[in-house]
Structures are given as C-alpha cells and as structure tokens.
Amino acid sequence: MQEAPAEQLKSGPVMIIYVLYFVGFFIGLTALVGVIMAHMKRGEADAAAKSHYQYQIRTFWFGLIYMIVGVLTAMLIIGYLILLWWFVWTLVRCVKGVLRALDNKPMENPETLLW
C-alpha cells in the first residue's frame, strides 16, 4: 500500500474518528458519528487511509455486537466478561490504529478481528 500524506493520517479524518471512538467510551453517540464518518470517507480515500477506515468500521460494528451480547447476558456472569472483552478489545484496536496513523502507516490487516 502506498503512503498517505502525513496530514491525512495524523490530523485528518482518520485521527478524528479514533478520537471519537475514545470519547465514545464515555459518550456513546460519538462512536456512532465516527463510524458514519468512516463510511462516508472510505470511498474517496487513498489506500493507507482506506485501510484505517475499514479497520475503524469493523471495530465499531463488531464492538457493537460484543456490547449487545454482553448487555443481554449481563444477568449471567458471562455478560460481564463479554463487556470486559469488548472494552479491552476496542481500546487496544484504537490505540494500535492511532499509533499506526501517527507513524503514517496503513493498517497491516484491516479485516482482522484481533489486533
């Protein structure tokens, strides 16, 4: 994948979306705004930014699934473990994405469900 201009990854929509995801831990609506932005920007992005957008989109939607399953099973002990997994998984993915964006690098495997 080709390198994106530094401003696009470091200070553009890619970084804004990661910040919205971090704020989403406290104000969930910001994560929704972030995924909408990622969907809208993905089509016009270069390869490096597109890899971040795809990674962000998958982080949101699979994270939402983890959260829903965790909430629905919260009356059982497993629900709290699922919610803990969602929190750690989302946090690690966002930190990894920010670090790669700051280094002006694309995501290595944007389709992964791990890190």
pLDDT for res 3: 46
Report the alpha-carbon distance of residue 41 to residue 43 in Å, rounded: 6
pLDDT for res 7: 56
Output the CA torsion 17→115→112→31 (10° steps).
Answer: -20
pTM of the model: 0.91
CA 60 to chain centre: 6
Query: Residues 75-92: pLDDT tens digits?
Result: 999 999 999 999 999 999
Alpha helices in 5-76 (DSSP H): 6-10, 13-23, 29-42, 47-72
> Quick one: which of 37, 83, 38, 77 has its CA closest to 64?
83
pLDDT, averaged per 10 consecutive residues of the chain (115 residues), comes to 58 95 96 98 94 98 97 95 97 97 95 89
